[in-house]
Structure 1
């Protein structure tokens, strides 16, 4: 008569359960592409995260720098988004006290030198120009790109020569590939991961 081996049955069941758990873990968890900037992306709204690349670039270089992060140079279509960006740079301790220490947006008028557009050819409707300095004033002709800086209460805009100055790029991208934004979790300074069921 063949003996019934309880030990082998137990080992097989344990192995089967272990493999099932591993499979569920792989299916469940989604990893965001590694961030290579100094600052991991942070949640600022239900659909968008922002990050600052802490290296200065000219405007055209900033577009590529954000693309290399899997993001896009930021557009500021509404006051709510402008306020969110202002709160973001404050929370990050980013100093941009004047026009010479500013941050790039995607805003530009390179097509016709008259009308302002965001990078995706979306017309600029909402504006937050620094009217105390008569912006936009095209002072150093041509000033065809939009930067912003912290005037103490808002992220105010300035028209700037696109290739003369180097500023920090502000990048934006969708939260966690449109998954629950609360699953965005900062693991280390250089990595963000999504973890199933974790509240961040």
Structure 2
């Protein structure tokens, strides 16, 4: 018996059962068969992804490309000398708008109410009607102020000029009601000796119980507290930020 004869009987001796076992165990799988199974598995995997997953992947790719495109444009614009002029022009325009806005806000912020006059951090109201000294105090308190108490020579000069021009007899927050001849302000402070020069000549004379002080002419005068006169209210001015 030759070799061909001996090979064929050996193949037959395996039988159908042994051949099936070899097939199922994968011993007889060729490289060609293995490659086919890989391609089939990949196609099955992409099928499992579904249309929604594929669409998401495409969107991600598109977004990435768009981002790269924007970055490229920004780089190009930054290198363009003409864009610097445009940038500066836009900044200047914005600055001008902010300046106008700030000026508008400043006009809206008033340190003093309408019809009040601002001077050195305080607001002053010069009345157009007349009351007695005590009622003048109440009128100022009703608007959150005080019948004027004078603290400095500059303030005195400011008020004296205003009252002299109007030629009005005007109450101030000064009296000697507590003790005759001892003048004190409504805030409890006493009249300084340096302020005595503001009395008109011969004043105060306390003639006929004249216990309350007023602006009269070019200086001060003592007068009856029950007389009706104009008055001046004073309060601290509001703060307006300049920042």
Q: Same fold (TM over 0.5)?
A: yes
Note the 1:95-106 alignment, pairs <5 A. 95-96=167-168, 102-106=169-173
Q: 2:154 aligns with which of 80, 94, 99?
A: 80
Deviation at 1:30, TM superposition (A): 6.3
After superposition, the C-alpha distances for 1:40-85 in whole angstroms (9 at most, x for unaligned) are 111122x212111211000000000111122110012332111111
| Structure 2: runs of 5+ lacking an equivalent | 1-54, 56-107
Residue 228 of structure 2 corresponds to 166
The CA distance in 2 between the partners of 1:70 and 1:150, in whole Å, is 28
Look at both structures and tell me which one has the larger radius of gyration over its CA atoms. 2
Residue 129 of structure 1 corresponds to 199
Residues 32 and 175 of structure 1: CA distance in aligned 2, closer, same or farther (over 3 Å): closer
Residue 166 of structure 2 corresponds to 94
Residues 114 and 89 of structure 1: CA distance in aligned 2, closer, same or farther (over 3 Å): closer
Q: 1:70 aligns with which of 121, 134, 144?
A: 144
Deviation at 1:95, TM superposition (A): 2.5
The CA distance in 1 between the partners of 2:236 and 2:142, in whole Å, is 15
Q: Is the partner of 1:159 in helix, strand or coil?
A: strand
Higher helix share: 2
Q: 2:132 aligns with which of 47, 51, 58?
A: 58
The CA distance in 1 between the partners of 2:111 and 2:122, in whole Å, is 14
Which of 1 and 2 has higher RCO (CA within 8 Å, sep 6+)?
Answer: 1
Q: 1:145 aligns with which of 184, 202, 212?
A: 212
Deviation at 1:174, TM superposition (A): 0.6
| Structure 1: runs of 5+ lacking an equivalent | 2-28, 97-101, 181-195
- TM-score normalised by length of structure 1: 0.60
Residues 147 and 58 of structure 1: CA distance in aligned 2, closer, same or farther (over 3 Å): same
Question: Once superposed, which parts of structure 1, at least 4 consecutive aligned residues long, lie more than 4 Å away?
Answer: 29-35
Q: How much is the aligned-residue C-alpha RMSD, in angstroms?
A: 2.7
Note the 1:40-51 alignment, pairs <5 A. 40-45=115-120, 47-51=121-125
